[in-house]
Amino acid sequence: MSDSLPVIIAILVVLLVLGGGVLLATGMGRSKGRHAAAKRPARDSFRKGGEDDAPPPLKRVGVVLNPTKVEDVEATRELVRTTVAKHAGWDEPIITETTAEDPGFGQTRAVLEQGVDLVCAIGGDGTVRAVAHVLTGTSTPMGLIAAGTGNLLGRNLEVPLDIAEGLDVALTGRNRRIDVGWVTLDPDPVQESTEELDPAHDGPTEPDVGASDETGSAAAENQFAFLVMAGLGLDASIMHQTSEEAKARIGWGAYVAAGARNILGARFQTRLRIDGGEPIRHTARSVVVGNVGRLTGGITLMPDAEVDDGILDVVAITPKGIVGWAGVAVHVLAKRERRHPRIERYRCQSVLVELDHPQLVEVDGDVIGEAREVRFEVRPKALIIRTPTATQAAAVATTPGD
């Protein structure tokens, strides 16, 4: 046992560093189609009524609920209704549930078509990503309601982890525009990476419905949104080899088992083209691209990452063996500022990753396929998120939690 203990510790730490809460996100299917962009809410859409004699029209919130992430679906529905009813100016919410076939794309389009002023996602990182994909490039705000085990975007934005408190923030908080990352697998030369999003446009092509792969995700178009992190190599391999059954049976230990099988796997040759520049060659085990830097447990993989700076942070991790991985883990956990020889960092608006052979790719914990070329780019401030006011943020900061 004493001989194996360092290996076990290294595997646990490395899994936290690479996956963090992203590894806890559930794999999700994808659906096709686009929605008509919702009309921009009036400037005072989230303010109290003015001095007009006639009362202002009631606002309405659409809620996309992942039923697998809550213990009691009906109780959660009732909690949503009673919480919304406490806030003046809001009509009864429209609540719709995700399915195995559609993790939130179609449901989000459906509530938008009913003219809602706000869309809230109740679920894990996969549900949040699906709703955000549809809302990207629109003027309809999004509320983050924690129900899964990851919720890394909400944690980075200091959104409460309690469902009722999260709804309070969504209904009474403030708007904040954040960046959205976009991944293109094996991009065609005609797909311009500099494409601009029209404010009334609903974002690039949404995933299409098709045959399911082994993880339950649907076959898709080659473009995918991400809000937290995306990557290829070790982290994607771990997600691919961790079944839903194993997660249900042994929880986080399922990722440890998958990590133990993969951590000493072969490295791969990669060329990084940062913002269209000359290729930078690495022999890597993992390449991670982030929109935020803080992971579960306070671990910071990308110390300079900001969710609204219009920049992606790229980390190429190139360790050799378990000793190399241990060195990487200690460096990250100790938050050392000096450069580590096995961690290369870049900051950019886009990066094209060229590989010597296909690698699995994941976005916010969902494996989306494999590719020999992967383009990551940022859509600056393309999504509006409801975040706490100063008073609400102070209340969250004083509440015990992780």
pLDDT of residue 85: 97
Phi, psi of 175 (to 5 degrees): -80, 140
Q: In angstroms, rounded to a whole number, what is the distance separating the alpha carbons of residues 195 and 331?
A: 37
Note the pLDDT tens digit of each residue in 19-71.
444 443 333 333 344 444 445 555 455 555 555 567 889 999 999 999 999 99
Q: In angstroms, rounded to a whole number, what is the distance separating the alpha carbons of residues 60 and 94?
A: 8
pLDDT of residue 314: 96
pLDDT of residue 393: 80
Q: State whether residue 221 is helix, strand or coil.
A: coil
Tell which CATH classification among 3.30.540.10, 2.60.200.40, 3.40.50.300, 2.40.50.140 matches the domain 182-244+264-381.
2.60.200.40
| Residue ranges in the chain whose pLDDT is less than 50 | 1-10, 12, 17, 19-38, 43, 192-220, 401-402
Nearest C-alpha neighbor of 228 from the set 18, 1, 22, 368: 22
Q: In angstroms, rounded to a whole number, what is the distance separating the alpha carbons of residues 291 and 312?
A: 6
pLDDT of residue 3: 47
Q: In angstroms, rounded to a whole number, what is the distance separating the alpha carbons of residues 329 and 324?
A: 9
Tokens of 11: 């595997």
Listed by start position, the domains of the chain span: 182-244+264-381
Note the pLDDT tens digit of each residue in 83-118.
999 999 999 999 999 999 999 999 999 999 999 999
Tokens of 202: 């609903």
pLDDT of residue 258: 76
